[in-house]
Amino acid sequence: MDLRELADRLEITDLLGRYARAVDSGQWHLLDHVFTPDAVIDYRSAGGIRGTRAEVTAWLADVLSGWPGRLHLIGSVTISFDGPGPGARDEAAVSAAFTDTLAPSREMVAAGTAGLLRGGGWYHHRVCRTPDGWRSRELVEEQSWRTITG
C-alpha cells in the first residue's frame, strides 16, 4: 500500500464519520460535504425512501425531528478501489457496519413513548474522488435488525 492509498483510505473513513456527525447532530447542510450533488441515497431497507441528496436530506430532517437523541457508530470498514492503476483509483466501493440509537424527545416521553429505537446493518457506498475530496455518489443502507427497548 503506497502513501496515496493510505491517504485515500483515511479520507474515505473520515467521510463516514462526517455522515454520522451530520445525521446525529441534525446539521443537514453537512451532508453537502458527504454526498455529490447527484447522489442517490436508498434507505428502503429501513422503511425509508430512495431519492436524491436534496430529497433525502429533507426527509431525514422531517422524520428524525422527533428523535433528537441520535448516535451512529460506524466500523468494520472495507474499501475496494476500482482498477489496478493510479488513474483508476478515483472510485471505490465502501461497506461499513453500523449501529444507531434514536432517543425520543421530551414531548414524546411525556406522551408515553418509552425506550430507545436501535438498529444496525451495513452502509454500502460508491465513492468518487472530486475536486473537493472523496464524496459518496450512492448510499444503500442494508438494515439487518431493529429493536425497541424500554
* 67 confidence band (pLDDT: 50, 70, 90): confident
Q: How many domains does the chain have?
A: 1
The enclosing domain of 23 has a CATH number of: 3.10.450.50
> In this model, does residue 84 exceed pLDDT 80?
no
* % of the chain beyond a pLDDT of 90: 78
Lowest-confidence segment of 30-39, 68-77, 81-90 by average pLDDT: 81-90
CA angle at residue 54 from 113 to 45, to 5 degrees? 55
Residues spanned by the domain of 120: 3-149
Q: For 26-138, where are the alpha helices, taking DSSP H only?
A: 53-63, 106-110
- Number of neighbouring beta carbons within 10 Å of residue 128: 16
Query: How far apart (Å, rounded) are the C-alpha atoms in residues 18 and 16?
Result: 5
Please provide the average confidence, as pLDDT, over all residues in the chain: 92
Q: What is the pLDDT of residue 88?
A: 61
User: Residue 35 corresponds to which cell in the numbers above?
Assistant: 454526498
What are the pLDDT digits (tens) for 86-113?
Answer: 556 899 999 999 999 998 877 767 767 6
